[in-house]
Structure 1
C-alpha cells in the first residue's frame, strides 16, 4: 500500500512538471508571434466605443425642458422682499427701474413628462415673495436641473431683503438697504458691497465672502465654512463651529466685537490708531497681538488688556485655532 502511495505522489509531481513546461513553451510561441492579449482587448474597446454617460442620460432623462420665465412687480408700498429657493443659483443686481424684476433661466431633465416650471413671484400686502417653482412629479422618477435666478432691485428701494436657500450659490453686486438677512444650507455667498443698518447671516456648509460690509450691527453664524470680510464697519457678533475667519476694520466701532470659534483660525486686522480693550483666549491655539498693550494677562494662550483706551471691546474665544490681532 505504501509503495502505491509513493508511486501516486511521483506521478503527480511528473504531471505538474509537464504542465509547467507546456505553459512555458506556449508563452514563448505566443511572444515570438507578436500576439498581445492587451492589444486584443484594447482593439476591442476602440472598435466598440460606448459613451456610457450619454447612454445613461438618454435612458434616465427622457424629457428635457428649457426654462425662461420672468415677472415684475412695482416697488411702491413694498417693505419686504423675500426669496426662498432650492437648487437654483441666485444673483442680486440693482436697477434704475421702479419695479422688482426676476428672471428664471436654465433647463430641467426628467424621466417622466411634466409641466415646465414657472417663476413663482407674488405680492402679499407689503411683501414680494419669490419662491422655487413647484414640482409636478408623481411616483418614482429621475431628475436633473440647472436653474439661475436673477433679481433686479430698484436703486430707490431701501427696506428689507431676506434670502433663504438650500444648495444654491448667492452673488450680490451692490446693495443699500435697511436690513439684509441671509440663510443658506450648502451654498456660497459672495458680495461686493453691502450697506445696511442690520446684517444677519447664517451659513451651513458654505463660505461667506464680502468685499465691503457697512453696517451698524452684524450677526454672523457659520457651520463648516470660511468667512472673509475685507472691510467691515459696525459692531459684530460672530459664531463659528468649523472654519477660518478673516476680517479687517478701517474704523473701530464704539461697541463690541465678539468672536467665538470652536475649530478655526481667527485673524483680525485693525487700523494703526485703533484703541480697544481685548480679551482673547484659545484652548489649544496661540494668541498673537502686534499692538502696544497695557496687559493684565499676556501668555501663550491668552491676552487681556487695553490698547490705548477701552472705547471698543474685543472678545475672542476659540477652542482649536490660533488668534491673530494686527
Structure 2
C-alpha cells in the first residue's frame, strides 16, 4: 500500500513539474516566439526547422514571402525566429501521458513556405505523418541541405532537388519519390524506406528493416551496409558499375550479367558495362538483391 502511495506522489510531482515548466515557457516566450503562426523568411534565414509529434503535417511551398503555420489540434503551436533559424513546433500542453502514445488524424498542421526558399531544412518527426512535395517532377522544390529524423510514423517526400540529404529512420515508413541529390545518407534502424526515381551518390546503413531503392540514372557511387534486413537495389539496364560485395552471413545477388565475376561464400565481385561507378556492399546478416 505504501509503495502505491509513493508511486502516486511521484506521478503527481512529475505532473506539477512539467505543468509548471510549460507555464514558464509560455510566460518566457518573448525570445522570438510568434503567437500568430507566422515568421519572416529573409536572405538571412538559413534554416527552417520543423519539430512535431502526434500530428499530421504538410509542408506546402507556394508563392509567398513569409512562413505561415496553421494548426488544428489540442497541442501548442509555436513559430520561433532565432538568429538564422525559423522553427515550427507542436508540443503537448503540459504533461499528458496520452499525447505520448496517441495520434489523431484530426490533429493537422499545414506549413506554408516560399516556393523559392532554397537553403536548409531540418525535420524531426516523433510520431504522426509528414508530407513535403515540390510542385511536380518538372518543377521540383530545390534546397541545399535537408536533415530528417523520424522516430515513428509515416513520411512522404516528392519532387525534390537537394544538394545534401541526410535521413535517420528509427522506425515507421518513409516513401521518397523523385529525389535528385549530390549525396544522400540514410540510416535505417527499423521500418521501411522506399525510394523511387533517385539520382545521386548514396550511403545507406540498414540495421534492420527493408530498403527499396530504384535509381533513374547511376551517376555516382553506391555504398550500402546491412547488419540485418533486406535491400532491393533497382538499377537502370545501362548502368555501368563495378560491384564489390562482402558477406559475413546472408546473401548478395545480382540479376545483371557480370564480367570478371568472382563469387564465393563470403564475397562477390564483377563489372557491368564499363564499370565506371563503384557499388560497395557489406552484409553482416540479411540480403541484398541487385536487379
Give the 3 Å change call, closer, same or farther, for CA 118–142 of structure 1 in structure 2. Answer: closer
In the alignment, is the contact (CA less than 8 A) between 2:171 and 2:192 conserved in 1?
Answer: no
* Counterpart among 82, 87, 97 of residue 64 in structure 2: 97
* Counterpart among 228, 237, 240 of residue 203 in structure 2: 237
What does residue 116 of structure 2 align with?
Answer: 156
> Deviation per CA, 1:253-297, whole angstroms, max 9, x where unpaired?
23x200011221211111121111101243333332122322342
In the alignment, is the contact (CA less than 8 A) between 2:156 and 2:176 conserved in 1?
Answer: yes
SS in structure 2 opposite 1:288?
Answer: strand
What does residue 129 of structure 2 align with?
Answer: 169
Larger relative helix fraction: 1
* Counterpart among 123, 130, 135 of residue 88 in structure 2: 130
Indicate the RMSD between aligned Cα atoms, in angstroms.
2.2
Give the 3 Å change call, closer, same or farther, for CA 227–142 of structure 1 in structure 2. Answer: closer
Judge which range, 176-185 or 126-135, deviates more. 126-135
What does residue 12 of structure 2 align with?
Answer: none
Larger Rg belongs to: 1
> Deviation per CA, 1:150-203, whole angstroms, max 9, x where unpaired?
111111110111011212322112232111111111222211222110111001
Cα deviation for residue 314 of structure 1 reads 0.3
Cα deviation for residue 99 of structure 1 reads 1.2
Aligned length: 246
In the alignment, is the contact (CA less than 8 A) between 2:49 and 2:121 conserved in 1?
Answer: yes
Give the 3 Å change call, closer, same or farther, for CA 133–267 of structure 1 in structure 2. Answer: closer
Cα deviation for residue 245 of structure 1 reads 1.3
Give the Cα–Cα distance (whole angstroms) in 2 for the partners of residues 200 and 241 of structure 1.
Answer: 16
Give the 3 Å change call, closer, same or farther, for CA 133–301 of structure 1 in structure 2. Answer: same
Cα deviation for residue 134 of structure 1 reads 5.5
* Counterpart among 198, 203, 211 of residue 177 in structure 2: 211
